[in-house]
Chain A
């Protein structure tokens, strides 16, 4: 088993690095550790609009990234350590989480963390989740990766995930929310995430980690993959399954009902009902727009018939669409 430590905290680079290893380095098992600056990471077949608080994400400039494995949406920051295991897969056997999770649990136990397996693919302390994991299988290789909440901002995690009064319908993979806790709060000695990472590696590799260094040429290829796939709106948002959205809100003391149909991240159908607003103008301007909060807000500000309306708060009106 070879050890790779990412040189970057950019989520797009790290997902590209993982894909590069998965598709190109097939001679051995690779164990990779990586941390991301504030970002949201979605399961491959999720509807991004169903999972995230789009307004909060766009207003706080949080990167949104779609990964190659299944499962739900997670928040990453520098207090969360990710591990990936890329190894051979025998098609005649069943999917197995234990072979990947148990060594991590053992390593955590040996540094004094009372971690245990929960459900199929989680690790928990006293029933509270500290790690979730997911996989992808292609041919005879498997990629397993997981999060380790060490000192993550749990308030930010909560605020960036979806809360809407609107109704979304789509054939997507839904997230399952869990009560979470940080590993740091369960350690006797106070250590930081870098010390935790060193301890984990030393334990996993019995103090003898054979490090694999990514060379300049590989970095260039990985950066191209990050640029052409992982950082693209078409991948992160556009790949979402089609969905319908409906929300009833109040604007200028009157009810407003918004119905949308969104295909590949673009609003293809928009129906607005309300007495005090120019519904036709709204429908006309919103149809064929990307389903983005800032985009919708700007489109609303362009509508001339809204400009004369007294007491209209554009943000409140944009909220009716999310």
Chain B
């Protein structure tokens, strides 16, 4: 089963967030609680963790990209 990870809305006024760090690459095994990527908005760095065990299949953005809220950042194959 696949699961998509989107840019979270972290503050009431947030329209997009800066994808400041990609901590996993396509093909990487992922455990629940692993940090997938870091988002920065309004001087807040937020570490986005995985809620699932699985494998990162696709990454749609590069480090440094500004991503709109709810846009798909990555796809995970859940095991």
* A residues in contact (CB < 8 Å) with B: 43-45, 68-72, 94-95, 97, 120-121, 133-139, 170-173, 241
* B residues in contact (CB < 8 Å) with A: 9-12, 14, 18, 20-21, 33, 35, 38, 40-47, 49, 63-65
Cα distance A173–B42 in the bound complex, in angstroms: 11
Cα distance A16–B38 in the bound complex, in angstroms: 20
What is the number of contacts between chain A and chain B, taking CB atoms within 8 Å?
Answer: 72
Q: A173-B18, A173-B20 are in contact. Are A138 and B11 (CB under 8 A)?
A: no
Residue numbers in A under 8 Å from B11 (CB-CB): 94-95
Is the Cβ of B64 less than 8 Å from the Cβ of A70?
no
Cα distance A16–B18 in the bound complex, in angstroms: 25
Is the Cβ of A137 less than 8 Å from the Cβ of B46?
yes
Do most interface residues of chain A lie in helix, strand or loop, or is the interface mixed? Answer: loop
Q: Lowest 4 CB-CB distances: which A-B pairs, in order?
A: A171-B64, A71-B43, A45-B20, A134-B43
Residue numbers in B under 8 Å from A121 (CB-CB): 42-43
Residue numbers in B under 8 Å from A135 (CB-CB): 43-45
Q: Determine which of A70, A94, A120 lies in contact with B40 in the assembled complex, contact meaning CB atoms within 8 Å.
A: A70
Cα distance A173–B45 in the bound complex, in angstroms: 11
Is the Cβ of A137 less than 8 Å from the Cβ of B45?
yes
Shortest distance from the beta carbon of B66 to any chain A beta carbon, whole Å: 9
Q: Determine which of B33, B40, B42, B47 lies in contact with A45 in the assembled complex, contact meaning CB atoms within 8 Å.
A: B40
Is the Cβ of B43 less than 8 Å from the Cβ of A69?
yes
Chain A CB within 10 Å, residue with most, of B18, B33, B40, B63 = B40
